[in-house]
């Protein structure tokens, strides 16, 4: 059951009845998402869909049109919505590198690369790159070879953040956008990122909306119910007011609310200033995550500006089995607390706020949910809550082990240096 996307400037379709569960519909206007509709049975006609959209999103549509009117447009004189947004005028888009980091993910990568082939972005300003992390065979190279525009490079050091750092070193773009091999990007994803960076030189990092690509098994629905990757449908700016003495961790320590590593982009000049990703964090290390969270925090701590842009949409293929979901949630706990430990080590002035955040999160997100599950007030199975709780406790000790492992890898392989990547997977 693929999530459907409905664009209001085009004729509305009939929504077919779902084969199982619910049919999810993402409603969008002028490339900007308004929200989600859910149809549990029977589907609906185009007319009924229009009525649902009017009930749910009229205010958001009018707000969008009002903003358009300040950019040379005009409010429509009839019931017809304008097909073109005046804010989509030509801009000098930055050169953009899109990096997909993968490890033995050939079976997932094809759909991701096909979506990259459809991106609406000037070809001479778009650099597509696959980083194959410590591959066990040449199957990923073979998949990349079917996409002539995509460059291919191997990063032999195992670990997602080693691969991300390789992407930075190999990038040809002024902006580096990251996504995952289990993601399909929207055709306007790169354009939404590029326009935001072009419009405001103060923007250093951007995250975007992540919606489910499919929701046809219970594990995928449970993940969305548990919290999912979506962070809402409104653009948000985040910055630390250092002049007012604002502590970064006190307000922004919970960096998961900014987005996820499956949809994030950074100015090259920012990375040059604040440093590369920490190779002791994220998938392929004892921490199993936290690399994106730590980088989001570092952006703000080092006086950068981070923006959440919901118009930059990717579709994530959630885990299909219950066992995979339970493992993912356990790793979420490990990764989050590993990020807290790492940040407390590096930024001593933030330690009191980080300690309070860690204690509060352990209670509010883990223990409180566990208690509620015993009195029938939890909407997710108890064993998923327990899995993340155990992961959170393990995460308090994992970062030290990960640092030792990263140091061992660095000694074995030596320092990372840029080297020539290849086209067509050759």
> pLDDT per residue over 136-151, tens digit each?
999 999 999 999 999 9
Residue 254, judged by CB atoms within 10 A of its CB (0-12, 13-18, 19+), counts as middle
CA distance 178 to 207: 10
Same structural domain for residues 58 and 111? no
Residue ending a domain, choose from 87, 114, 132: 87
The model's confidence at residue 26, banded by pLDDT at 50, 70 and 90, is very high
Domain that includes residue 292, residue range = 92-321+416-423
Q: Is residue 190 one of the residues assigned to a domain?
A: yes
Same structural domain for residues 98 and 239? yes
Phi-psi category of 290—alpha, beta or left, where left has phi over 0 and alpha has psi -120 to 50?
left
- The yes-or-no verdict on residue 261 having pLDDT over 60 is yes
Q: Is residue 398 one of the residues assigned to a domain?
A: yes
- pLDDT attached to residue 350: 96
Same structural domain for residues 339 and 362? yes
- Tell me how far CA of residue 315 lies from CA of 181, 187, 215, 246, 358, in angstroms: 11, 11, 11, 35, 30
Among the residue ranges 186-190, 244-248, 284-288, the one predicted with the least confidence is: 244-248
Same structural domain for residues 355 and 308? no
- Region 387-398: mean pLDDT is 97
Q: Say what percent of the chain tops pLDDT 90.
A: 84
Pick the closest to residue 403 from 281, 274, 291, 277 (CA basis). Answer: 281
User: What kind and span of H or E run contains 5?
Assistant: strand 4-7
- pLDDT attached to residue 106: 96
Same structural domain for residues 317 and 331? no
Residues paired with 38 in a beta bridge: 24
User: What kind and span of H or E run contains 382?
Assistant: helix 382-413
Q: Is residue 349 one of the residues assigned to a domain?
A: yes
- The yes-or-no verdict on residue 168 having pLDDT over 80 is yes
Q: Is residue 221 one of the residues assigned to a domain?
A: yes
| Segment 346-383, tens digit of pLDDT | 999 999 999 999 999 999 999 999 999 999 888 899 99
- pLDDT attached to residue 242: 84
CATH number at residue 267: 3.90.550.10
Residues paired with 152 in a beta bridge: 130, 422
Q: Is residue 299 one of the residues assigned to a domain?
A: yes
Q: Is residue 411 one of the residues assigned to a domain?
A: no
Question: Which residues lie below 8 Å from residue 344, measured CB to CB, with a gap of 6+?
Answer: 350, 351, 354, 355
What 3-state DSSP class applies to 48?
A: helix
Same structural domain for residues 102 and 170? yes
Tokens representing 277?
Answer: 């990703």
Q: How far apart are the first and last CA of the chain?
A: 36
The model's confidence at residue 67, banded by pLDDT at 50, 70 and 90, is confident
Residue listed under structure tokens 């061992």? 408
- The yes-or-no verdict on residue 426 having pLDDT over 90 is no
- Region 120-124: mean pLDDT is 97
This prediction's pTM: 0.94
- pLDDT attached to residue 75: 45
Same structural domain for residues 132 and 13? no
CA distance 7 to 201: 30
Q: Residue 24, Cβ neighbours under 10 Å: how many?
A: 21
- Tell me how far CA of residue 53 lies from CA of 211, 212, 315, 351, 413, in angstroms: 19, 20, 22, 46, 55
DSSP string, 130-173: EEEES-SSSHHHHHHTT-TTEEEEEE-S-SHHHHHHHHHHH--S
- The yes-or-no verdict on residue 420 having pLDDT over 70 is no
How far is Cα of residue 215 from the mean position of the Cα atoms in its chain? Answer: 18
Contact 182, 107 (CB under 8 A): no
What 3-state DSSP class applies to 375?
A: coil
Same structural domain for residues 81 and 98? no
| Segment 73-101, tens digit of pLDDT | 444 444 567 888 888 888 899 999 999 99
Residue 310, judged by CB atoms within 10 A of its CB (0-12, 13-18, 19+), counts as buried
Pick the closest to residue 264 from 341, 347, 167, 335 (CA basis). Answer: 167
Contact 73, 86 (CB under 8 A): yes
Supply the angle between the helices 322-346 and 291-301 in degrees, to the nearest 10: 30
- pLDDT attached to residue 21: 74
The model's confidence at residue 419, banded by pLDDT at 50, 70 and 90, is low
- pLDDT attached to residue 19: 76
Residue 132, judged by CB atoms within 10 A of its CB (0-12, 13-18, 19+), counts as buried
Q: Is residue 224 one of the residues assigned to a domain?
A: yes
- pLDDT attached to residue 78: 43
For the chain, the domain total comes to: 3
Q: Is residue 273 one of the residues assigned to a domain?
A: yes
Same structural domain for residues 77 and 27? yes
Among the residue ranges 30-44, 289-303, 398-412, the one predicted with the least confidence is: 30-44
Residue ending a domain, choose from 35, 53, 87: 87
- pLDDT attached to residue 80: 66
- pLDDT attached to residue 79: 53
- Region 329-345: mean pLDDT is 98
What does the mean pLDDT of the chain come to? 93
Same structural domain for residues 219 and 314? yes
How far is Cα of residue 79 from the mean position of the Cα atoms in its chain? Answer: 36
Residue ending a domain, choose from 48, 70, 87: 87
Question: Which residues lie below 8 Å from residue 376, measured CB to CB, with a gap of 6+?
Answer: none
Same structural domain for residues 61 and 190? no
Same structural domain for residues 278 and 139? yes
């Amino acid at each position: 059951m693929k999530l459907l996307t409905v664009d209001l400037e085009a004729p509305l379709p009939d929504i077919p009845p779902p084969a199982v569960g619910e049919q999810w519909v993402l409603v969008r206007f002028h490339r900007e998402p308004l929200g989600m509709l859910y149809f549990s049975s029977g589907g609906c006609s185009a007319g009924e869909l229009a009525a649902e959209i009017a009930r749910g999103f009229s205010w958001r549509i009018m707000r969008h049109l009002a903003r358009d009117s300040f950019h040379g447009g005009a409010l429509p004189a009839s019931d017809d919505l304008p097909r073109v947004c005046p804010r989509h005028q030509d801009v000098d888009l930055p050169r953009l590198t899109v990096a997909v980091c993968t490890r033995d993910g050939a079976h997932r990568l094809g759909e991701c690369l096909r979506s990259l082939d459809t991106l609406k972005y000037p070809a001479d300003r778009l650099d597509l790159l696959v980083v194959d992390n410590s591959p066990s065979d040449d199957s990923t190279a073979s998949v990349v070879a079917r996409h002539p525009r995509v460059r291919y490079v191997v990063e032999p050091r195992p670990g997602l953040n080693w691969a991300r750092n390789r992407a930075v070193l190999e990038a040809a773009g002024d902006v580096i956008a990251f996504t995952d091999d289990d993601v399909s990007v929207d055709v306007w994803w790169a354009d939404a990122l590029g326009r935001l960076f072009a419009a405001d030189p103060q923007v250093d990092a951007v995250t975007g909306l992540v919606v489910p690509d499919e929701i046809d098994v219970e594990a995928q629905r449970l993940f969305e119910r548990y919290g999912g990757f979506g962070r809402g449908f409104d653009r948000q700016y985040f910055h630390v007011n250092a002049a007012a003495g604002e502590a970064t961790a006190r307000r922004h320590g919970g960096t998961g609310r900014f987005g996820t590593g499956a949809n994030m982009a950074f100015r090259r000049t920012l990375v040059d200033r604040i440093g590369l990703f920490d190779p002791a964090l994220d998938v392929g290390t004892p921490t199993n995550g936290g690399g994106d969270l730590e980088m989001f925090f570092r952006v703000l701590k080092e006086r950068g500006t981070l923006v959440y842009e919901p118009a930059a949409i990717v579709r994530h293929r959630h885990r299909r089995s219950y066992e995979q979901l339970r493992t993912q949630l356990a790793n979420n706990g490990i990764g989050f607390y590993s990020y807290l430990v790492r940040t407390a080590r590096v930024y001593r002035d933030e330690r009191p706020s980080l300690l309070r955040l860690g204690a509060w999160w352990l209670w509010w997100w883990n223990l409180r949910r566990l208690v509620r599950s015993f009195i029938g007030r939890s909407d997710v199975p108890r064993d998923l809550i327990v899995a993340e709780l155990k992961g959170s406790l393990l995460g308090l000790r994992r970062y030290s082990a990960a640092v030792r492992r990263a140091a061992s890898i660095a000694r074995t392989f030596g320092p990372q240096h840029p080297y020539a990547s290849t086209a067509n997977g050759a």
